[in-house]
């Protein structure tokens, strides 16, 4: 196989026949006669880990991606053999390991579907230049197989027929198909014969994935160093694959503070203080909800991290407090480059303690970023992370900053080939000393981790908020992320949609794009269409570069402002819904955005869809990606859906035209859903919530919905002080029953629900709450199928006039 490496190709080597094996609790070792060892761990009954060594000895088993808990093995393992192969069986899978050549085939234990089959399987090329191996794996692409995942790739959701590289890269104004860009998430999902499995190649070197591009029926992945070390994760549901991957690489360590799910406003840069205040005041004057305002690099003194420009910001603490009094949380940028300046305390400390990265022969890694020549902390050293985390004390504890934005952490270096560190730079890698070839892809992750530790420490007892540009698998444990320096074009609106969905199916749901585009300037129409999409992304922030004009909701015309307000208000109304899906993500790893294929993989029509997605579990969203549109054709997934704007019901499983003039977008609610809503607030916590509206969408049949709430910040929820309400809706021809099951110790501020019934096919004769008939006054039955009841109800029974009950 001819591989796209820069190195001279010297021929592939292969394992020879297996001569013996050993078994302990959850791990098998297969020994080939030429010294290759395959280590196979049964991590779960649906998760295998495969590692290979060509030297007879494995590297220290260390991963930044895998959580300790998840890598703990499974303790039931069954192995048998026949003449040709070993057979390992679990409750979900069967794996054959062929004695002749170590190749593997994996089957579904129930129906023997062949899920994954090695073609050449593991093979390698020795690397003369760097030592070690270029490790490779090739598999047969099954009939009709599709591929998804890989983080932030700005390409069609289905990866089939394409080749990709994972090398975290600063990619200003990248475009459709640019590869690689900011993130390295070497995880993909394969789907064929209605069954989905995932592969996570936990190798931080430059990795490549080929999805039947070089050869039509072969999929392969390889790395420029390190071990062939990968996880095979079985579904068969794609959602289960993603959940298991997220479990392996870690779910967010805590819920975000609720305000972080509000709307954020950013620009490069808002300064001086009067400008920041003017922006904040305008939000309040125009009544456009907003929770956070960002300070980009110009708040610093000569771009020195952890300093303030006193001319622009004479009293940061006072300003941050005044903004806070008006509901704004201040978020500041912190980059990795530390300005070389003997007068600058952070530089001095870093230097004195040996915290900066060095080149192979000893000089410091020197590179140009915003402040000019810089040195860079080695965030792969735990001592450096500790030091770095302490640097946030003043910003967070003293000044009152509420969140930190990590940027340029690929790491980006200006005016040099490759725009990053050279390969020879040395890293601690938590005691597994290595070069930048191995540490590059996790550098940004470790910076975000150190930042997270600091922000968390000093925000306590409140929750931290961090955002990062660079990421490797597992970064979702610490931080949110955005998709980097996009452009104000219609194509980029499409890209933003695909990237957010792809990140979500790659275990990283807390994601959004620079709304409106970072480079260049959108017109009002593009900005509106982008906001419409952005309010349905878990992270929702307008950001733009300074040199292309203004990009606030009022920077266009009044009509734009009004539509933007309308959509941001929808985001704020849906906050309890968004918080509930975040809780599900943090708890179970459930992706917050579901591409249609993730939502309904059995419907092959979904396999090549890109635009439509499910926000959480119940809301179908489809952005308008073109100028002058009065609507669009879109695919409605199977089942019945209510048009959000007019309650008309459509049956899915087909493409349909949907009207959506500039002040609308295609939005549908799954029938049977119960969607919780808060009143519109200008910022989270502006109002005490006195009533929650439950939008109930009638269905003939059964449907479950959930509502999760807690104090919206702090850690009491971990001690059980949360409120989880599970609703079961059962609709029949002449009645509708909603049962509520409550758990948790948190007492919500409101006492009542306002129930809004949509699509009820009968006229109401009477209403019973917990088996007692309520007179209409008591339930405050209104003419428009709206009623108010106590939040404590167990069963709400709505009985139609033709019912015999």
Catalytic residue ranges: 407, 410, 485
Helix (H) or strand (E) holding 725: strand 723-732
What is the footprint of ligand GLC within residues 681-740 (CB under 6 A)? Answer: none
Give the separation between CA 344 and CA 302, rounded to whole angstroms. Answer: 11
Q: Which residue has the tokens 């050449």?
A: 120
Give the separation between CA 613 and CA 600, rounded to whole angstroms. Answer: 11
Residue nearest to ligand GLC (CB): 268
Q: By CB under 6 A, is residue 469 in contact with ligand GLC?
A: yes
As given in the structure block, the two tokens for residue 363 are: 């000089």
- In the complex, least distance from residue 545 CB atom to ligand GLC, rounded to whole angstroms: 6
Of the two residues 333 and 581, which places its CB atom closer to ligand GLC in the complex?
333
**Residues binding ligand GLC: what is the number (CB under 6 A)?**
9
Neighbours of 422 (CB within 10 A): 16
81: Cα within 13 Å, side-chain hemisphere: 14
- In the complex, least distance from residue 181 CB atom to ligand GLC, rounded to whole angstroms: 11
Give the separation between CA 74 and CA 231, rounded to whole angstroms. Answer: 14
- In the complex, least distance from residue 267 CB atom to ligand GLC, rounded to whole angstroms: 8
Q: Looking at residue 17, what DSSP letter applies? A: -
What is the footprint of ligand GLC within residues 380-409 (CB under 6 A)? Answer: 407
> Where do the H-state alpha helices sit in 654-785?
776-779
Nearest Cα neighbor of 98 from 23, 37, 40, 18 is: 18
- In the complex, least distance from residue 470 CB atom to ligand GLC, rounded to whole angstroms: 10
Of the two residues 346 and 658, which places its CB atom closer to ligand GLC in the complex?
346
- In the complex, least distance from residue 349 CB atom to ligand GLC, rounded to whole angstroms: 23
Q: Is 640 helix (H, G, I), strand (E, B) or coil?
A: strand
Give the separation between CA 437 and CA 380, rounded to whole angstroms. Answer: 13
Of the two residues 212 and 300, which places its CB atom closer to ligand GLC in the complex?
300
Bridge partners, residue 40, by sequence: 28, 50
Q: Any residues with CB less than 8 A from the CB of 363 and at least 6 apart, and which?
A: none
Of the two residues 197 and 268, which places its CB atom closer to ligand GLC in the complex?
268
Of the two residues 467 and 774, which places its CB atom closer to ligand GLC in the complex?
467
Among 333, 395, 774, 798, binds ligand GLC (CB under 6 A): 333
Q: Is 117 helix (H, G, I), strand (E, B) or coil?
A: strand
Residue 269 preceded by cis peptide, ω within 30: yes
- In the complex, least distance from residue 543 CB atom to ligand GLC, rounded to whole angstroms: 6
Among 152, 210, 378, 485, binds ligand GLC (CB under 6 A): 485
Q: Is the dihedral of CA 348, 352, 358, 361 positive or negative?
A: positive
Q: Where are the beta strands (DSSP E) in 224-287?
A: 228-234, 263-265
Among 77, 297, 447, 667, binds ligand GLC (CB under 6 A): 297
- In the complex, least distance from residue 296 CB atom to ligand GLC, rounded to whole angstroms: 5
Of the two residues 266 and 564, which places its CB atom closer to ligand GLC in the complex?
266
Of the two residues 85 and 267, which places its CB atom closer to ligand GLC in the complex?
267
Give the separation between CA 135 and CA 39, rounded to whole angstroms. Answer: 15
As given in the structure block, the two tokens for residue 177 are: 């198909």
As given in the structure block, the two tokens for residue 191 are: 């789907």
- In the complex, least distance from residue 333 CB atom to ligand GLC, rounded to whole angstroms: 6
What is the footprint of ligand GLC within residues 363-382 (CB under 6 A)? Answer: none
Give the separation between CA 579 and CA 571, rounded to whole angstroms. Answer: 11
CA dihedral defined by 515, 659, 568, 754, rounded to 10 degrees?
-150
What is the footprint of ligand GLC within residues 527-556 (CB under 6 A)? Answer: 543
Neighbours of 294 (CB within 10 A): 24
As given in the structure block, the two tokens for residue 77 are: 């393992």
Neighbours of 356 (CB within 10 A): 19
Q: Is 455 helix (H, G, I), strand (E, B) or coil?
A: helix
- In the complex, least distance from residue 297 CB atom to ligand GLC, rounded to whole angstroms: 4
Q: Is 615 helix (H, G, I), strand (E, B) or coil?
A: strand
Of the two residues 220 and 483, which places its CB atom closer to ligand GLC in the complex?
483
Give the separation between CA 665 and CA 653, rounded to whole angstroms. Answer: 20
Nearest Cα neighbor of 683 from 388, 186, 257, 305 is: 257
- In the complex, least distance from residue 487 CB atom to ligand GLC, rounded to whole angstroms: 12
Q: Is 32 helix (H, G, I), strand (E, B) or coil?
A: strand
Of the two residues 512 and 637, which places its CB atom closer to ligand GLC in the complex?
512
> Where do the H-state alpha helices sit in 466-557?
490-505, 524-534
Among 210, 227, 296, 713, binds ligand GLC (CB under 6 A): 296
x/- contact string, 404-443, with ligand GLC (CB under 6 A)?
Answer: ---x------------------------------------
What is the footprint of ligand GLC within residues 117-176 (CB under 6 A)? Answer: none
As given in the structure block, the two tokens for residue 491 are: 């194509």
Of the two residues 427 and 469, which places its CB atom closer to ligand GLC in the complex?
469
Q: How large is the C-alpha radius of gyration of the chain?
A: 27
Are 665 and 532 in contact by the 8 Å Cβ rule? The answer is yes
Of the two residues 106 and 297, which places its CB atom closer to ligand GLC in the complex?
297
What is the footprint of ligand GLC within residues 259-278 (CB under 6 A)? Answer: 268
Helix (H) or strand (E) holding 497: helix 490-505
What is the footprint of ligand GLC within residues 600-619 (CB under 6 A)? Answer: none
Are 338 and 376 in contact by the 8 Å Cβ rule? The answer is yes
Of the two residues 172 and 657, which places its CB atom closer to ligand GLC in the complex?
172
As given in the structure block, the two tokens for residue 86 are: 């070993």
- In the complex, least distance from residue 711 CB atom to ligand GLC, rounded to whole angstroms: 32
- In the complex, least distance from residue 336 CB atom to ligand GLC, rounded to whole angstroms: 12
- Which residues contact ligand GLC (rule: CB under 6 A)? 268, 296-297, 333, 407, 469, 484-485, 543
């Amino acid at each position: 196989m001819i591989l796209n490496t820069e190195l001279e190709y010297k021929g592939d080597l292969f394992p020879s026949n297996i001569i013996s094996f050993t078994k302990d609790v959850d791990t098998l070792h297969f020994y080939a006669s030429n010294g290759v060892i395959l280590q196979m761990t049964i991590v779960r009954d649906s998760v295998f880990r495969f590692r290979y060594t060509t030297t007879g000895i494995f590297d220290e088993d260390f991963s930044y991606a895998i959580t300790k808990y998840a890598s703990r093995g499974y303790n039931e393992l069954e192995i048998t053999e026949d003449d040709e192969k070993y057979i390992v069986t679990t409750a979900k899978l069967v794996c054959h390991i062929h004695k002749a050549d170590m190749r593997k085939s994996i089957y579904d234990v129930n129906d023997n579907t062949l899920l994954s089959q090695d073609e050449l399987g593991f093979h390698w090329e020795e690397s003369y230049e760097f030592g070690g191996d270029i490790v490779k794996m090739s598999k047969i692409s099954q009939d009709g197989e599709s591929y998804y995942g890989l983080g932030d790739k700005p390409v069609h959701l289905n990866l089939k027929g394409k080749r990709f590289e994972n090398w975290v890269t600063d990619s200003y104004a990248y475009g459709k198909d640019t590869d690689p860009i900011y993130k390295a998430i070497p995880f993909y999902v394969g789907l064929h014969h209605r069954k989905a499995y995932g592969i996570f190649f936990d190798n931080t070197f430059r990795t490549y994935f080929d999805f039947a591009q070089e050869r039509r029926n072969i999929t392969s992945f390889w790395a420029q160093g390190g071990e062939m070390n990968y996880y095979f994760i079985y579904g068969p549901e794609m959602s289960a694959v993603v959940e298991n991957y997220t479990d392996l690489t870690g779910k967010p360590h805590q819920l975000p503070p609720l305000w972080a799910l509000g709307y954020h406003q950013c620009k490069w840069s808002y300064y001086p203080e009067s400008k920041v205040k003017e922006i904040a005041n305008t939000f309040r004057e125009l009544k456009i909800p907003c929770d956070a305002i960002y300070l980009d690099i110009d708040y610093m003194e000569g771009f020195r991290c952890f300093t303030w420009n006193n001319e622009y910001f004479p009293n940061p603490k006072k300003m941050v407090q005044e903004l806070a009094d008006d509901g704004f949380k201040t978020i500041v940028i912190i980059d990795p480059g530390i300005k070389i300046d003997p007068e600058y305390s952070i530089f001095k400390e870093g230097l004195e303690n040996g915290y900066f990265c060095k080149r192979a022969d000893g000089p410091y890694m020197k590179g140009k970023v915003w402040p000019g020549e810089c040195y860079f902390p080695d965030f792969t050293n735990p001592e450096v992370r500790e030091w770095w985390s302490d640097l946030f004390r003043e910003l967070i504890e003293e000044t009152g900053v509420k969140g930190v934005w990590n940027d340029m952490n690929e790491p980006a270096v200006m005016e040099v080939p490759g725009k990053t560190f050279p390969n020879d730079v040395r890293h601690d890698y938590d005691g597994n000393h290595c070069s930048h070839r191995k540490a590059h892809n996790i550098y940004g992750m470790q910076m975000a981790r150190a930042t997270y530790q600091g922000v968390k420490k000093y925000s306590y007892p409140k929750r931290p908020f961090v955002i990062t540009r660079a990421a490797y698998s597992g970064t979702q444990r610490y931080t949110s992320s955005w998709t980097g320096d996009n452009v104000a074009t219609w194509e980029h609106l499409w890209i933003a949609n695909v990237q957010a969905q792809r990140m979500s199916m790659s275990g990283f749901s807390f994601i959004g794009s620079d709304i409106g585009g970072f480079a260049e300037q959108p017109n009002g129409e593009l900005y509106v269409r982008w906001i419409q999409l952005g309010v349905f992304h878990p992270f929702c922030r307008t950001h733009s570069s300074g040199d292309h004009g203004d990009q606030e909701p009022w920077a266009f015309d009044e009509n734009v402002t009004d539509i933007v307000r309308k959509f941001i208000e929808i985001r704020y109304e849906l906050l309890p819904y968004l918080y509930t899906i975040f809780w599900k993500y943090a708890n179970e790893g459930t992706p917050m955005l579901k591409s249609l294929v993730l939502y309904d993989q059995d419907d092959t029509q979904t396999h090549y869809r890109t635009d439509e997605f499910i926000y959480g579990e119940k809301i179908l969203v489809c952005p308008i990606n073109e100028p002058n549109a009065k609507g669009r054709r879109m695919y409605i997934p199977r089942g019945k859906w209510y048009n959000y704007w007019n309650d008309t019901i459509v049956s899915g499983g087909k493409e349909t035209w949907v009207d959506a003039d500039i002040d609308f977008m295609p939005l549908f609610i799954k029938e049977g859903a119960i969607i919780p809503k808060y009143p519109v607030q200008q910022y989270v916590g502006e109002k005490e919530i006195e009533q929650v509206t439950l939008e109930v969408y009638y269905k003939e049949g059964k449907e479950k919905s959930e509502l999760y709430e807690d104090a919206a910040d702090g850690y009491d929820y971990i001690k059980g002080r949360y409120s989880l309400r599970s609703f079961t809706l059962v609709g029949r021809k002449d009645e509708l029953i909603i049962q509520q099951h409550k758990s948790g110790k948190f007492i919500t501020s409101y006492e009542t629900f306002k129930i809004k019934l949509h699509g009820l096919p009968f006229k109401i004769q009477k209403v019973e709450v917990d088996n007692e008939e309520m007179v209409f006054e008591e339930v405050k039955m209104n003419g428009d199928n709206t009623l108010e009841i106590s939040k404590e109800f167990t069963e709400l029974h709505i009985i139609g006039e033709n019912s015999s009950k």
